[in-house]
Structure 1
Amino acid sequence: MTDEPLLSLRTFIEDVERIGELRHVHGAHWDLEIGGIAELSYRRPKPQALLFDDIVDYPSGHRLLVGSTGTSRRFGRTLRLGDDLDDFGLVEALRGKPSKWAAAARDFPVEVVERAPFHENVLEGNDANLLAFPVPRWHGHDGGRFIGTGCLVVTSDPETGVHNGGCYRMQVQDDGRATTIAAVPGKHGAQNIERWFAREGRAPVTVSFGHDPLLLALGGTEVPGGISELEYAGAVLGQRVPVVLGEETGLPIPAGTEIVVEGWLTPEESRVEGPFGEWTGYYAGSPRPTPNLRVNRIYYRDNPILLGAPPGKPPHDYSYMRTVMKSAMIQDELVSMGVPGVKSAWAHETGGGRLFIAVAIEQRYAGHARQVGYLAAQCPAAAYMNRYVVVVDEDIDVTDLGEVVWAMSTRSDPATDIEIMNRTWGSKLDPMLEPDQTPYNSRAVIDACRPWHRLKSFPRVAESDPAYLREVQQRWGQFLD
C-alpha cells in the first residue's frame, strides 16, 4: 500500500495480514453477532485480529476491525518493537521505553497538513448520522450502540494549549445525530473538559474512529500530564505525526484516521448513557447523564474502517495490551525509585491489567517484600483501581497465575502476611462500589515470599533442576507432545 499517511489503520491491517494474524469475517450482524464472534475469539490461546465486512444492513466495504493488539506479535508491531517477540520478550523490549518516549515527545511536535484521505467524503446537516457506519451493539445488556471503544478523543488544556488523546466509551445518541463521551473522572481529558467548562462554558473535542492501534494504546495509558499523546506517538515512531486542524475547534486530527467528528461539549447538553459491559467484566456504574456531542459534520474515507476495542469479562479486546504496558511501566517505576532486587512484574490479564499485580524480587533485607508491595500498590502506573499486589520470590514465574497462587498458598500466613490499604483510588466502574458511594477502594498487599529469617532453612522445592529437565526434554520430548 502506497502513500498512506503515518498511523494509517490500513497499513496496520496490511502488516497484520502479512504476519498471518488477520482473519476476514463476512456477513455478521452489527447487533450482538459481531460482539459474540469477537468474544469467542478473545478466549482462544492465540486470538486473531478480525476484519468484518459485508455487515448486515451496511454496504460492502464499510468495515470494522477488532482484536488489533491481542498477541505479542501484533502488539509488538503496534509499539514498533518487532513482531517476533513472546510475552516476556515484549515486556523486556518495552522496559525503559515509556520514560524515554515521554522525555522525547516534545522533540516531535505534530506536523500540520492541509488535506488527508478522510476528506474524501463528508456528511453534513441532516445527513451527518453516525449510524451510517456499522456501529455494533456489543453486549446483550448494553444501553445502546457504542461507536467509541477504540476511538481517540482529543481535548486541550485551555491554559497551556497542550492537547490530550484519550480512549473513552462513546454511545450513539439521538438516532445517530449525537454521541455521549464518557471521559473518566480524574483523567487528563476529563480535567481539560472541566477547565473549558469553567472558563468558557463549553469544551472543544475532536474524535477519530479508525487509526493505527498505537493511538488506542496511548489513549488508554497514563501518559504523563502535560505531554500530548500525538507527540508521544511521534517519539515512538521517530517521526512527527501529520495532523489536520479541525475547522470548528482547531484541534489536531490524525491525518491517517478513517472517520472524524468534531464539535463542542457543554454542561447543559447531556444524555443518559449506559449501561455498558466494562473491562472489569460487569455492567458496572448505573446509567447517568453524560456530556453529549451533537454531530454536524462527519468526514470519512472511501470504504471506511472502524476500530473496535470492546471490553468485557477478561480476556477482552485490549486486556493483553494493558497487561503488557502496565507490567513494563510498573517494573520501570519500581526500579526508578531505587528499590533493589526487582526481577519482574506482571499486571494479570485476569484482573484487566489493573486489579491483580504480581512482582518477583530477590530478597535483600528484612521488610524488602513489604516495601516493594506498598510501592507497587501506589506507584503511578498501578494506583488506579488496583486491588491486589502479590510479592513473590524470584523463582516464581509472575506471568503464571498458578505459580503465584502456589506461592501465596505455601509461603504466606494470612494472619501476618496480608496488609490492607484503605481509601485508595477507585472508580465508579468498580462492581463492589455501592450506589452513590465515593469511589474509594481498598487494596491488599500480600507477602508471598519465603520468610526472610527462614530463607536458608525453608523447605526445598520438590522439582528437578531446570538444566536437567532441558536435557530430558531433548531426549524424550517426542513422547511428551
Structure 2
Amino acid sequence: MGSVPLEEIDDLRGWLDLVGDLGELKAVEGAGWDLEIGAISEANYRRTSPPALLFDAVPGYARGLRVLTASTGNARRLGITLRLGTDCDDRRLVHELRDGPARWTDGAANHPARTVDSGPVTEHVRTGDGIDLLSFPVPRWHAGDGGRYIGTGCAVFTVDPDTGTPNAGAYRMQVQRDGRSATINIESGKHGAMHVREWFKREGRAPVTASLGHDPLLLVVAGTEVPGGVSELDYAGAVLGRPVDVVRGEDTGLPIPATAEIAVEGWLHPDRKLPEGPFGEWTGYYSGGVEPVLDMEITRVYHRTDPILLGAPPGKPPHDYSYMRSVMKSAMIQAALVRTGVPGVRGVWSHEVGGGRQLLVVAIDQRYAGHARQAAYLTAQLPAAAYMNKFVIAVDGDVDPRSLNDVMWAVCTRAEPERDIEVMRYTWGSRVDPLREGGPAYNSRAVIDACRPFERLDGFPVVAEASPDLLARMAERWPDVLG
C-alpha cells in the first residue's frame, strides 16, 4: 500500500509512510536503549543530509516498540513536516519560509484545535500500578546523562489560568521513580514555567500533559518560539490548513493530540521535586550537575498499540533538531524583524553551530546612519531571538548570512573591533549555559557591526569576485567542471 498524499497526513505513521516511500527513512534493528541508540543517532547527524532512523527490536522490548530520531534533520523532511512539498532543498525551504511564520501566526485564530471524544492515543490507558514509563524503550542518550530521558522530542502542554490558552514546549523529561514519574525541566522564562507558577499561587498544583510521540510538526512548534498568546496547537493548525484534533485529559482537561503515539497526564506540585540531570544539551555540553526539578505526578498514560517514541536528543551541533531550529528560528526572527518596520532586511540566519540560538546574522541594505546597529540591536532582543543568544552580527546585503565563511570575511574586513563591537549585559541566559556559575541565568551578548561604514558606502573598496550572472553562464557552459 502506498503512502497517503502529503496534505492528508495527520499522524506520525502517515508521515513515516511518506518519508519511507521517498527513501528518507532507514530501519535499525537490535540497537540497545543504553547508549547504542544515542550513539548511532549521533553518528547519523554528522552525515550530509542524514536520513531519519527508526529503531526496532530493541533488546529487552517487544518488536513494534520503536524509537524515531532525525525526523527533521534535512530540508526535504522538514519541508514535508511543514507541508511545503516533498522536494524541498535548502534554498527552496528558506524561500518558502520567508512569509510562513507571519502567515501561520495570523492564521492560527482561524484554525483552533478541535476537541474529539477519542483518538488512536486512547487505545490503551494505564492508571495506578499500570503506570510504567520504562515499559517503553526509553534511551539513555549520552554516557554522562543522569538517567533515561523519555522527553526529548516531546510537546509538554500547560495552560494559562487566566485565558485558558494552552502552550506547548519541548522540555526535557527524565524518567524517575523506576518509571512511575518523570521530571520536567522548564526554563524559568518560558511560557510553560509562567503558567506553572501562576497555578501554584492559585491552586497549589499545576495541570500538565505531555505528548511523547507525534507528527514531527508538533516538535517543530513546541521547540521554537511561537509568539506569546498564540496556541502552538492553533499555529500547527494554520500550517496544516485544518484544525489539530485533541482529546481532553480525563483528570486535568488539558489537550492531548488525538493521534499521538504516547502521552502522559498529571500534576506538578511546588514541593514535589527530584534530582535531575546532568544531560547532554544543545550547547554541546552536559548542563549543570544534579539539581532538584519538578517531578510530575502521573495519573494516566495513554498510548497506541505498538507506539513510537519520538526522540530528539540534543548534543554538540549538529544534533537531532539543530537544523530544524536554525531554519525555523531564522524564518521567525526575520518575520518579526520585518514587522518592527526596519527597512532593507535581506535575510536573517540563526547558525546551527550555535545551536540555532547563539549566533544570529542579519543582512541589510543600509539606508541611513545607524541602520545596521538598529537592526542588530532589535534582532538581539526580539522575543523569538532573546533567549540565550550571544552574538548578533549585522552584514551588508551582498553577504550571504547563511555562509559562515562570508560572514566571518565581513567581520574581518568591515568591522573595526574598537568601534564596531558592543556588549549588552544582563540579558536572558539559560541554566544550560556551560559558562554559568550559579545564580540568576543572565548572559551577555556582543553586537558586531560588520557592515561597511555608512559614511564610506560610495568609496569603500570594491569586492574582487566574479558577478553571479557570469558565474551562472560559466556553470552552463562547463557543467562537467562546475556542476
Q: TM-score, normalised by structure 1?
A: 0.96
Provide, for residues 161-189 of structure 1, a one-character-per-residue CA deviation record: whole Å limited to 9, x for no partner. 21111111000001111100112211111
Q: Does 1:282 align with 2:292?
A: no
Counterparts in 2 of 1:108 and 1:480: CA distance versus 1, 3 Å: closer
Q: Identity percentage over the alignment?
A: 59
Shift of 1:126: 2.1
Shift of 1:30: 0.6
Counterparts in 2 of 1:6 and 1:83: CA distance versus 1, 3 Å: closer
Find 2:415's aligned residue among 390, 394, 412: 412
Shift of 1:2: 7.6
Between the aligned partners of 1:2 and 1:112, the Cα distance in structure 2 is 24
- Secondary structure at the aligned position of 1:416 is classed as helix
Counterparts in 2 of 1:447 and 1:218: CA distance versus 1, 3 Å: same
Letter in 2 for 1:66: T
Provide, for residues 282-324 of structure 1, a one-character-per-residue CA deviation record: whole Å limited to 9, x for no partner. 1122321111113343221111100011011111111111111
Matches within 5 A, 1:34-183: 34-183=37-186
**Counterpart in 2 of 1:471?**
473
Contact 1:243 1:253 in 2 (8 A): yes
Between the aligned partners of 1:363 and 1:106, the Cα distance in structure 2 is 36
Contact 1:206 1:260 in 2 (8 A): yes
Contact 1:5 1:242 in 2 (8 A): no
Q: Does 1:265 align with 2:268?
A: yes
Shift of 1:6: 6.4
Find 2:30's aligned residue among 21, 27, 30: 27
Shift of 1:201: 0.6
Shift of 1:448: 1.0
- Secondary structure at the aligned position of 2:213 is classed as coil
Shift of 1:229: 1.2
Provide, for residues 224-266 of structure 1, a one-character-per-residue CA deviation record: whole Å limited to 9, x for no partner. 2222211221121111111111111111111110112111111
Contact 1:129 1:295 in 2 (8 A): no
Q: Does 1:237 align with 2:240?
A: yes
Shift of 1:109: 2.3
Q: Does 1:462 align with 2:464?
A: yes
Shift of 1:160: 1.9
Between the aligned partners of 2:461 and 2:410, the Cα distance in structure 1 is 13
Q: Does 1:186 align with 2:189?
A: yes
Matches within 5 A, 1:348-367: 348-367=351-370
Counterparts in 2 of 1:449 and 1:403: CA distance versus 1, 3 Å: same
Q: Does 1:443 align with 2:445?
A: yes
**Counterpart in 2 of 1:216?**
219
- Secondary structure at the aligned position of 2:210 is classed as strand
Matches within 5 A, 1:282-361: 282-361=285-364
Shift of 1:394: 1.4
Between the aligned partners of 1:341 and 1:123, the Cα distance in structure 2 is 56
Q: TM-score, normalised by structure 2?
A: 0.96
180-189 or 306-315, which moves further after superposition? Answer: 180-189
Q: Does 1:386 align with 2:398?
A: no
Regions of 4+ moved over 4 Å: 1-6
Between the aligned partners of 1:44 and 1:262, the Cα distance in structure 2 is 37
Shift of 1:194: 0.9
Shift of 1:477: 3.2
Contact 1:7 1:257 in 2 (8 A): no
Between the aligned partners of 2:175 and 2:129, the Cα distance in structure 1 is 15
Provide, for residues 193-240 of structure 1, a one-character-per-residue CA deviation record: whole Å limited to 9, x for no partner. 111111111111111111001111111122222222112211211111
Q: What root-mean-square deviation, in Å, do the aligned CA atoms of Structure 1 and Structure 2 show?
A: 1.7
- Secondary structure at the aligned position of 2:336 is classed as helix
Contact 1:180 1:290 in 2 (8 A): yes
Letter in 1 for 2:415: S
Between the aligned partners of 2:230 and 2:454, the Cα distance in structure 1 is 42
Between the aligned partners of 2:9 and 2:175, the Cα distance in structure 1 is 28
- Secondary structure at the aligned position of 1:122 is classed as strand
Letter in 2 for 1:387: K
Shift of 1:52: 0.6
Shift of 1:480: 4.9
Contact 1:7 1:211 in 2 (8 A): no
Contact 1:158 1:195 in 2 (8 A): yes
Between the aligned partners of 1:7 and 1:291, the Cα distance in structure 2 is 32
87-96 or 49-58, which moves further after superposition? Answer: 87-96
**Counterpart in 2 of 1:432?**
435
Letter in 2 for 1:470: A
Contact 1:55 1:134 in 2 (8 A): yes
Provide, for residues 14-57 of structure 1, a one-character-per-residue CA deviation record: whole Å limited to 9, x for no partner. 12112221111111011011111111111111111111111121
Unaligned 5+ segments in structure 1 are none
Shift of 1:431: 1.0
- Secondary structure at the aligned position of 1:428 is classed as coil
Shift of 1:339: 1.1
Letter in 2 for 1:212: D
Shift of 1:438: 1.8
Letter in 1 for 2:217: L
Between the aligned partners of 1:366 and 1:260, the Cα distance in structure 2 is 53
**Counterpart in 1 of 2:400?**
397
- Secondary structure at the aligned position of 1:343 is classed as strand
Contact 2:150 2:175 in 1 (8 A): yes
Shift of 1:5: 9.5
Counterparts in 2 of 1:35 and 1:346: CA distance versus 1, 3 Å: same
Between the aligned partners of 2:180 and 2:350, the Cα distance in structure 1 is 39
Contact 1:185 1:191 in 2 (8 A): yes
Shift of 1:371: 1.3
Letter in 2 for 1:462: A
